């Protein structure tokens, strides 16, 4: 399903309506408070979560750089998620030190 993502002005000052699609209800309107954005460490892309106001179905959609910038402009809450933990980085660094051919690790 293509992701449609349209911002609509609202008569109330400072309020932005985010128009998106619920997989059950079709077109729905959200406020920035309904949306939570999860950014990858590079801050350009991520995922956004929302709860449909009609059917309360929780959904998660990928957010490309354009969607991310639009969501941030509306003032949605966001968090940066780190897919690898520090322990994993340390383990990888330790493996690199003992590995005579580091590229072999990347090859899997």
Residues that bind Zn ion (CB under 5 A): 22, 24-25, 52, 54-55
Nearer to Zn ion, 8 or 107 (CB): 8
Shortest distance, position 63 Cβ to Zn ion, whole Å? 19
Nearer to Zn ion, 25 or 96 (CB): 25
DSSP per residue, 19-56: EEEETTTEEEEE-GGGEEEEE-TTSS-EEEEEE-TTT-
Shortest distance, position 35 Cβ to Zn ion, whole Å? 14
Number of other CB atoms surrounding residue 65 within 10 Å: 12
């Amino acid at each position: 399903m293509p992701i449609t993502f349209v911002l609509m002005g609202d008569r109330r000052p400072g309020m932005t309506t985010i128009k998106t699609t619920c997989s059950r209800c079709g077109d729905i309107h959200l406020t920035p408070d309904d949306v939570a954005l999860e950014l990858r460490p590079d801050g350009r892309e991520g995922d956004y979560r929302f709860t449909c106001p009609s059917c309360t179905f929780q959904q998660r959609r990928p957010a490309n750089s354009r969607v991310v910038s639009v969501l941030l402009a509306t003032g949605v809450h966001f968090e940066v998620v780190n897919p690898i933990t520090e322990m994993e980085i340390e383990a990888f660094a330790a493996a690199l030190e003992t590995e005579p051919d580091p590229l072999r690790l990347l090859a899997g």
